[in-house]
Structure 1
Amino acid sequence: MNVYDNLIDPLPPLIVLNSEDNVAVARSRIDPEVTGEVLGVRPLSRIPRGHKIALRPIPSGSPVLKYGQIIGFATRDIPAGEHVHTHNLAVGEFGRDYAFCVDARPVDPVPMDKQAHFMGFVRPDGRVGTRNYIAIIASVNCSATVSRAIAAHFSAPGVMERFAGVDGVIGLTHSGGCAFNTKAEGYDYLTRTIAGYATHPNVGGVLMIGLGCETNQIPELLKRERLAESDRLRSMTIQAVGGTRKTIEKGIRAVEEMMPIVGATRREKVSAAGLTLALECGGSDGYSGISANPGLGHAAGLLIRHGGTVILSETPEIYGAEHLLTRRASRPDVAEKLLERIDWWRDYANRNRAEMDNNPSHGNKAGGLTTILEKSLGAVAKGGNAPLEAVYEYAEKVTAKGLVFMDTPGYDPVAVTGQVAGGANLICFTTGRGSVSGFKPSPSLKLATNSEMYRHMSEDMDIDCGTILTGLESIEELGQRIFNNMLATASGQQTASEELGYGDNEFVPWQVGAIM
């Protein structure tokens, strides 16, 4: 028994999310001999916290409803009071009403003179940074060790004290860069991702390191992505410089020469419209769609009202809930593009002998999520209620304002890498099981879906969203608190993952296609 199970909770032990639902969610663990009858239902067995209980009999083959939506179908007769999970619930095919644009409602913008502000780094192109890093970017896995060695030099105690105004030097390395087809989509993804980080508003200077003989040639990458070397963007290859040690030494000198240029930029007061927020969830549980995700959705709506941009992603984790987004699309072509990406994923999964319902993960299921449909319905809540303005492919630069969608895998490091490459200068990451990753150069706020995990992993979490479950806050109050934390973080307040040193290992470009 854990601490949370011993708490005396004055609220009903079951959470009913919609009047049409035939299941409810256990607010805390339910023991039949202790809890007794709840909402007219007598539990037939122990129900773990965050898990589902049948409110009425559900015949075999009938839809199971949560959030007023189908999350799957009963695989056998389920009596009222039974635990509903993987042993009696599974995904099935059914029609969806995509109804393009019928639920799109105009956003009520906050007047310019009343917009919220933060202290950010204004770049020459007008975009705003929330951090000021120098990035060492490897063009290929073969230059990863050298790139990390250069970055590691500047993490030694006392070194950065000589360079005011720079938040640090990060080594962005990956496992690809060679033995692939330069005419295929995988090459597009890699070069777009590298270019997105090289031009990111949180990056003031860049050093690209190659081996020299790789497929992903730096000169071709720069030409392809319309980049040019300058005092803020330099490159070198290990073979041309003369080996590992010489390249590390030359790279350190190059970064030191950039330091005063990058450090000369100072924070200044800017509108919240300068924020591009990446929405992410990982290690989700049965509370994600009830507490943290709706709270974040309200905060996202506030940011959009203040002129900012919000990126929802993880295509496999909106599968089954995509109709909620097509109904909120601002234009039919936006809805059509979203469905095109869903179709691409169906084909992609089939080609790789996978199924869209391979998600949720082990941890998701232990936390109460049973099907991808259930997970997706909760995940979409992160986007709030704003109209969907645009759909982007992986790592494309985001230029639209308001709520947009980026096509990414559900795997957190790959998804966020694409969002950051697209320009996200801040991340809000909801978690019920306790994800701990960070994503330099963009700070990542961790939002705990339940108070027990927040207390247990307090050094890794930034915001306790379990207050929704205990009735201490409304979704609107939580959303405002998240929004205030976003502004403080954008102004330089360190997140838990930053203080713990996370963010150097989560640069993971999406590898698609044959590696030869």
Structure 2
Amino acid sequence: MQDAVIDAVIEAPPAQPAGPALGDAPRTIRLHASDNVAIVVNAFGLPAGTAFPDGLTLVEFVPQGHKVALAAIPEGGAVRRYGEVVGIATQDIPRGAWVEESRVATPTAPALDALEMATRVPAPPAPLQGYTFEGFRNPDGSVGTKNILAISISVQCVAGTLDVAIRKIKAELLPRFPNVDDVVGLTHAYGCGVAINAPQAVIPIRTLQSLARNPNFGGEVMVVGLGCEKLVSERLLPDGDAAEDGGVVRMQDERHQGFAMMLDSIMAMAEARLEILNRRRRETCPASDLVVGLQCGGSDAFSGVTANPALGHCADLIVAAGGTVMFSEVTEVRDAIHLLTPRAKNPAVAAALVREMAWYDDYLAKGEADRRANPSPGNKKGGLNNIVEKALGSVAKSGTSAISAVLAPGERVTEKGLIFAATPASDFVCGTLQLASGITLQVFSTGRGTPYGLAQCPVIKVATRTELSQRWSDLIDLDAGRIATGDATIEEVGEELFRLILDVASGRKKPWSDRWGLFNDLTLFNPAPIT
């Protein structure tokens, strides 16, 4: 992405009730020289009559983050932002007018059979050496950022039982194991009443199998099941890794005489694993051991201007350090896929990107929906007219590195570098699938604000706007809005984020979601039938 072009006048405009505060000069941001729209930076928007040095005068009020026409756009004409067509005007839009959602139609998505494939592969970055963090090294070589006992369930029927058991474990066992950070349940609404052998059932089953092996859990897999479910508990144990105790507690086992005995069995198995996890210690690890997920939610028009480009610069630093970074959300990539397939490291990776886009196109079509179901009402209030504009801002998280691999939903990462992990755009489903793919820390950008968090890994929250960062000062970890006001560059915020990731991964700093204990439930992606 090119550097933003910031237009501002020196003096304040004439006093009007909806205008910017005295001394807050009206400003817009234009991202590319070919753009015929810019977004308003000022917190309360700008009123009709606001004038800019280039002669642009607003003909109506334009809210913060929303687009103003820099030139007259005729009906049927292209609306350009990011140097790309983000809409088709449904009526004449005069210069200085608000390019409001109802005035713009969604363009056609790029054809998947006419893309450039690995034609502009970025050169490997200069190695970034000397950066380390304090992590938990696992026997398989992976490194966690937390030391957690995770307990899986094979069926939703036992989720309540596990909740009771975890409360009991935390009260009676966990205080004896001070080196263990937490005990979490990998609960879900799957396991029975489902078409377990349907082709797409591979996605939720693979996700559950992969979740249990996240590096933050130290390899100590444990499953609580019922006994009559379709998803047999043993399927959630790593192949050949079953412990001496079998790794499974079934409520229906005949040896259990009452609920208290079932709880005792869970407690005994948990205690054995806590003993092992308590021996884990942080050790100095190179930044190449990082596995970081990138996600955005509650996005606005600033997402692609401030936070996401800063995440992209940080992603480039992680890749240069030899680490792994994932970006996701198929529907928020689909309309920018033509910018990504040329960056694939080889034609096979480019073809895998196309495969995941095509799969999701078909998935939406079968549900009689399409990509226009995204964005949300809040995204639109934040200035995003349609999914095309949202996608172009979303892919800024991917930075500039070559895309080294593509993961289908729930697949575990095996490559280093920049990875596309295919997921839906839902915050909760995406977070669950990224955990399954192996992230040990997540960075989450937001413009509208969200209390999103994960118990299974730290989540660093980055605000797109300074107003949000100030208003949610005890929920936001990093303010990227300084880029829009000119108080920081994309590179400076990206480097600050990189250092914050190292501190959080080392346990030296806690993000706000961890400090509050503010966590969302896991949510499986299950495109298979429910019987």
* TM-score bin, normalised by smaller chain: over 0.9
Q: Aligned runs of 1:423-442 on 2, under 5 Å?
A: 423-442=438-457
Residue 420 of structure 1 is matched in structure 2 by 435
1:425 Cα deviation after fit = 0.7
Please state if 1:250 is matched with 2:265. yes
Deviations 1:482-516 (A, max 9, x none): 0000000000121111111123x431111112100
Please state if 1:99 is matched with 2:116. yes
Three-state SS of the structure 2 residue aligned to 1:515 is coil
Q: Aligned runs of 1:37-436 on 2, under 5 Å?
A: 37=52, 39-93=54-108, 98-110=115-127, 114-156=129-171, 160-204=174-218, 205-222=220-237, 226-230=239-243, 234-240=247-253, 241-436=256-451
Three-state SS of the structure 1 residue aligned to 2:136 is strand
Label 1:313 to 1:248 Cα distance change in 2 as closer, same or farther (>3 A). same
What code does the residue aligned with 1:275 have? L
Cα distance in 2, alignment partners of residues 125 and 85 from structure 1:
53
Cα distance in 2, alignment partners of residues 2 and 301 from structure 1:
44
Residue 23 of structure 1 is matched in structure 2 by 37
Cα distance in 2, alignment partners of residues 70 and 123 from structure 1:
47
Residue 13 of structure 1 is matched in structure 2 by 27
Cα distance in 2, alignment partners of residues 95 and 169 from structure 1:
45
1:242 Cα deviation after fit = 4.5
Three-state SS of the structure 1 residue aligned to 2:167 is helix
Asked if structure 2 preserves the Cα contact closer than 8 Å seen for 1:292 and 1:449, the reply is yes
Q: Which runs of 5+ in 2 are unaligned?
A: 1-15
What code does the residue aligned with 1:497 have? S
1:180 Cα deviation after fit = 2.0
1:103 Cα deviation after fit = 2.4
Three-state SS of the structure 2 residue aligned to 1:206 is coil
Three-state SS of the structure 2 residue aligned to 1:83 is coil
1:336 Cα deviation after fit = 1.4
1:221 Cα deviation after fit = 4.0
Three-state SS of the structure 1 residue aligned to 2:227 is coil
Three-state SS of the structure 2 residue aligned to 1:6 is coil
Label 1:341 to 1:33 Cα distance change in 2 as closer, same or farther (>3 A). closer
1:51 Cα deviation after fit = 0.7
Q: Which runs of 5+ in 1 are unaligned?
A: none
Asked if structure 1 preserves the Cα contact closer than 8 Å seen for 2:72 and 2:95, the reply is yes
Cα distance in 2, alignment partners of residues 273 and 79 from structure 1:
51
Deviations 1:254-297 (A, max 9, x none): 21222221110100000000011111000001100000000010
Three-state SS of the structure 2 residue aligned to 1:35 is coil
Asked if structure 1 preserves the Cα contact closer than 8 Å seen for 2:19 and 2:46, the reply is no
Three-state SS of the structure 1 residue aligned to 2:444 is strand
1:304 Cα deviation after fit = 0.4
1:84 Cα deviation after fit = 0.9
Three-state SS of the structure 2 residue aligned to 1:213 is coil
Three-state SS of the structure 2 residue aligned to 1:403 is strand
Please state if 1:477 is matched with 2:492. yes
Residue 12 of structure 2 is matched in structure 1 by none
Cα distance in 1, alignment partners of residues 417 and 387 from structure 2:
26
1:106 Cα deviation after fit = 1.6
Cα distance in 1, alignment partners of residues 77 and 303 from structure 2:
25
What code does the residue aligned with 2:203 have? Y
Please state if 1:502 is matched with 2:518. yes
Cα distance in 2, alignment partners of residues 3 and 365 from structure 1:
20
Cα distance in 1, alignment partners of residues 431 and 297 from structure 2:
11
Q: TM-score scaled to structure 1, two decimals?
A: 0.94
Three-state SS of the structure 2 residue aligned to 1:320 is helix
Number of positions where the alignment pairs a residue of Structure 1 with one of Structure 2: 509
What code does the residue aligned with 1:129 have? G
Q: CA RMSD in A?
A: 2.1
Three-state SS of the structure 1 residue aligned to 2:294 is strand
Cα distance in 2, alignment partners of residues 7 and 242 from structure 1:
74
What code does the residue aligned with 1:127 have? S
What code does the residue aligned with 2:247 have? R
What code does the residue aligned with 2:239 have? R
Deviations 1:423-445 (A, max 9, x none): 11110000011111112311110
Cα distance in 2, alignment partners of residues 95 and 294 from structure 1:
22
Cα distance in 1, alignment partners of residues 338 and 120 from structure 2:
11
Please state if 1:513 is matched with 2:528. yes
1:86 Cα deviation after fit = 1.3
What code does the residue aligned with 1:361 have? S
